[in-house]
Amino acid sequence: MAVSNIKRNSDKKEIFDLQNMLYVISLYENGKPDVIPDGIFGDETKNAIIKFQLGNQIEQSGVADYNTLQKI
């Protein structure tokens, strides 16, 4: 199964699952959530992705692309 980009207008469940993963990662990395899972891809989600990408030497696009999802 191919992994698609998760971005604005993606499936709500995909966004929610991504947000859950970013939420858990943020608890371990900095002790505070950068995003609250709600299934809506807004600025909070985009900024959490950028922060994750920056910390993992991935191009900061704000989109959960293949490379980002593989690291998550």
* Cβ neighbour number for residue 24 with a 10 Å cutoff: 13
- pTM for this structure? 0.89
Helix (H) or strand (E) holding 69: helix 66-71
Given a cut of 50, whether residue 1 has pLDDT beyond it is no
SS3 label, residue 6: strand
Mean pLDDT of 43-63: 94
Q: How confident is the model over 25-37, as pLDDT tens digits? A: 999 887 788 899 9
**Mean per-residue pLDDT of the chain:** 90
pLDDT of residue 45: 96
pLDDT at 10 over 60: yes
